[in-house]
Amino acid sequence: MTATLADVAARARVSPATVSRVLNGNYPVAAATRERVLRAVDELDYVLNGPASSLAAATSDLVGILVNDIADPFFGIMASAAQSEIGGGPGAREKLAVVCNTGGSPERELTYLTLLQRQRAAAVILTGGALEDPDHAAAVAAKLGRLAEAGARIVLCGRPPLAAPAQGPVAATLTFDNRGGSRRLTEHLLALGHRRIGYVAGPEERTTTRHRVEGHLAALADAGVPPGPLVHGSYDRRSGYDAANELLRLDPSLTAVVAANDTVALGACAALRDRGLSIPDDVSVAGFDDLPFSTDAAPALTTVRLPLHEAGARAGRLAMGKEQLPPGGIATFHGELMVRGSTGGTRA
Amino acid sequence: MTATLADVAARARVSPATVSRVLNGNYPVAAATRERVLRAVDELDYVLNGPASSLAAATSDLVGILVNDIADPFFGIMASAAQSEIGGGPGAREKLAVVCNTGGSPERELTYLTLLQRQRAAAVILTGGALEDPDHAAAVAAKLGRLAEAGARIVLCGRPPLAAPAQGPVAATLTFDNRGGSRRLTEHLLALGHRRIGYVAGPEERTTTRHRVEGHLAALADAGVPPGPLVHGSYDRRSGYDAANELLRLDPSLTAVVAANDTVALGACAALRDRGLSIPDDVSVAGFDDLPFSTDAAPALTTVRLPLHEAGARAGRLAMGKEQLPPGGIATFHGELMVRGSTGGTRA
DNA sequence: CTGTTAGCGCGTTCAA
DNA sequence: TTGAACGCGCTAACAG
């Protein structure tokens, strides 16, 4: 049926070992022999048997990229950038960069890690915020340890470092300064004169959520302004819509709403518009991430730009061992405040 | 080191074959024995060796989902839906659904197909429009034939059927009625009184591009209205921005612009706004796909809604063999015209 | 229902 | 520089 390495060897009149050597290019092979082998490969339309190869070599060319929501460009952009550094290169052995969608479910996260371990993945990139549940964190840390033992390189991207003891197996951590970005965003609102600011937070028990809330509260505390109402929700538009209505119910005098991310912010905007409120004249709205569509909203969204592409690309290179991180293995990416039309001064 | 099946067998005092049987659950095993084995698995923290398993069984639990652009929610939504039908959930026979980002590059598409063939993938889902280059189409068809021979189930999602002889290995095809949707969209514009309509087409040589253009031209032809200017571009915002400017240069009297998709349409809107034109008073704009953010644009985008989630989920089920398609193996999904604020009547 | 026996196709020693 | 032989860890017959 399908051609095997032995078939190629027979056709090229060499031993299977020699074929293996030219295919892997790690051993010296005479130019003439190599030529003959490659021709045979071509003529037989031979494709290496991955499982057999992985079994013998005890490693595979699979690189897993875990994302919380593949339909969200926040993850799509990072994954795309990472993947282009992994699968793209015309270099030696191609790696198969694959993205695994956990949907934010802890069980699925663990399932995927197990499946990647089962496949003897060469590397694993975990993107986005982590769940803060201690049990789950421990389970993930254990799995990562197991993966690293088996030779997988572990990279965290857009995710905070693991707790000290668990950080061991992690080769590199690229983290976003969510706290700082959030703080600057709220400072911007305060500078505009806002004193009653509502907050639409992301899902509870997530590092990203907590850090962004902390930055917000820190800015308020520094200014001596009491926090406004806060509600939690998921990272979708609908959640932002509902949350904005809830915030206004809790405090009808709000003059600004800060959202967990841009998608949520757009949902909040829709809710405000549906109530006949004008943005930013009646209420200012701000998001986070600066996804491509944020600038097309009505009005354009004030937000914090995260270097998603850069972080993803770097994570890809780290996973391939094409780049080393400075001592400590942790790099922090900062966000940039993008002031646009959705925030403005309070009414006189 | 890592525990193997033999270790588990020894600990459970059974043969390796028995362990294999309880793990795969395809064979009758006494409840007591199964219990003992599962305990041993747990105690040893045993994880099946995927490559070894795939080698012996001549198939793997990998399911590949090829997308043109993972950062585009059009693909993210389909991939997410497909993936949720395939893997990650609770259950014994887990499949590993992985998405592969071709970036629209023909070479990478073939590379990924080869890598999936190498891994002995259980199924492959190809999403989105295909390149129309005959050489590439033939190469893809050949690869798919090879994959199918090796036991992979092939599903096309949001992609037209292959040419008759090549359709053989394809288990199922879910296609979008791009032509019909596009035609209805243009009919809507014509009904509003537009007679000079510019068109921002997608990348050349792509089926999606051609079908949408054909539907547009068909509507015009039926109405006896001559086609306006048409320019090609990629599926990003920038491309829409530049294209809109170019269209207005070609014909300053345009009253409407139809774009290849929503992202491009938003870019076009930005260009029009930057020229001081009002939407839809001066120029109407329409998109395609109805991605989630389209409703938040200013004004909200008139577009054609495609059942991306439904198509993706169905593709996932077909890939798993959980569902059969009616004779012919082809199902067509139709788009729904969504009329919103970005299109309006021409000025009197 | 369970154990025994062969490979699956390749990488990698060791010699030559 | 090349070949021969072994084993990676598991599944799939075939017995029993």
Kindly report the three-state secondary structure assignment for every residue of A112-144.
HHHHHHHCCCCEEEEECCCECCHHHHHHHHHHH
Residue A47: closest C-alpha in chain B: B118
Tokens 């421990």 locate to A138
10-residue averages of pLDDT along chain A (348 residues): 89 92 85 91 92 91 95 97 77 75 93 91 95 94 91 94 78 95 98 97 96 98 97 96 97 97 96 95 98 90 98 96 84 97 85
Distance measured from the CA of protein residue A168 to the C1' of nucleotide D14, in angstroms: 48
Tell how far CA B310 is from the center of its chain: 11
Helix (H, G, I), strand (E, B) or coil at A162: coil
Chain A interface includes B51 (CB < 8 A) = yes
Tell how far CA B261 is from the center of its chain: 14
Nearest residue to B78 via CA among B24, B164, B18, B156 = B156
**Is beta strand A256-259 parallel, antiparallel or unpaired with respect to A197-201?**
parallel
Q: Whole-angstrom Cα distance, residue A149 to residue A140?
A: 14
Find out whether B120 and A51 touch, Cβ atoms under 8 Å. yes
Name every chain B residue with its beta carbon within 8 A of the beta carbon of A47: 114, 117-118, 146
Tokens 């929501």 locate to A69
Task: Say whether B50 and A292 touch across the interface (CB within 8 A).
Answer: no
Query: Judged by CB atoms within 8 Å, which residues 107-126 of A form the interface with B?
Result: 107-108, 111-112, 114-120
- E-strand ranges in B102-220 read 123-127, 153-157, 170-176, 197-201
- Residue-level pLDDT at A289: 98
Q: Whole-angstrom Cα distance, residue B113 to residue B118?
A: 8
- E-strand ranges in chain A read 62-67, 96-101, 123-127, 153-157, 170-176, 197-201, 230-232, 256-259, 284-286, 303-305, 330-333, 336-338
Helix (H, G, I), strand (E, B) or coil at B278: coil
Under the phi-then-psi rule, with left for phi > 0, alpha for psi from -120 to 50, and beta for the rest, what region is B134? alpha
pLDDT greater than 60 at residue B342: yes
Q: What angle do CA A242, A245, A246 make, to 5 degrees?
A: 85
Nearest to B298 among A83, A88, A297 (CB): A297
Q: Whole-angstrom Cα distance, residue A120 to residue B52?
A: 10
pLDDT greater than 50 at residue B91: no
Q: Whole-angstrom Cα distance, residue A314 to residue A92?
A: 20
For the beta sheet containing B230-232, the strands, ordered from the edge strand earlier in sequence to the opposite edge, are B230-232, B197-201, B256-259, B284-286
Name every chain A residue with its beta carbon within 8 A of the beta carbon of B149: 1-2
Chain A interface includes B54 (CB < 8 A) = yes
- Residue-level pLDDT at A328: 78
Residue B83: closest C-alpha in chain A: A101
List Cα–Cα distances, A295 to A98, A308, B193, in angstroms: 30, 16, 30
Find out whether A287 and A302 touch, Cβ atoms under 8 Å. yes
Q: Whole-angstrom Cα distance, residue A329 to residue A170?
A: 8
- The amino acid occupying position A18 is T
Distance measured from the CA of protein residue A15 to the C1' of nucleotide C15, in angstroms: 15
Highest mean pLDDT, choosing among A160-164, B190-194, B322-326: B190-194
Find out whether A273 and A286 touch, Cβ atoms under 8 Å. no
Query: Judged by CB atoms within 8 Å, which residues 214-233 of B form the interface with A?
Result: none
Q: Which helix (H) or strand (E) holds A238?
A: helix A237-250
pLDDT greater than 50 at residue B280: yes
Band (pLDDT 50/70/90 cuts) for residue B166 is low
- Residue-level pLDDT at A326: 73
- Residue-level pLDDT at B258: 98
Query: DSSP character for A335?
Result: P
- Residue-level pLDDT at B132: 94
Other beta carbons less than 10 A from residue A332's beta carbon: 12
Helix (H, G, I), strand (E, B) or coil at A108: helix
Asked if the Cβ of residue A26 lies within 7 A of any atom of strand D, the reply is no
Task: Say whether A98 and B103 touch across the interface (CB within 8 A).
Answer: no
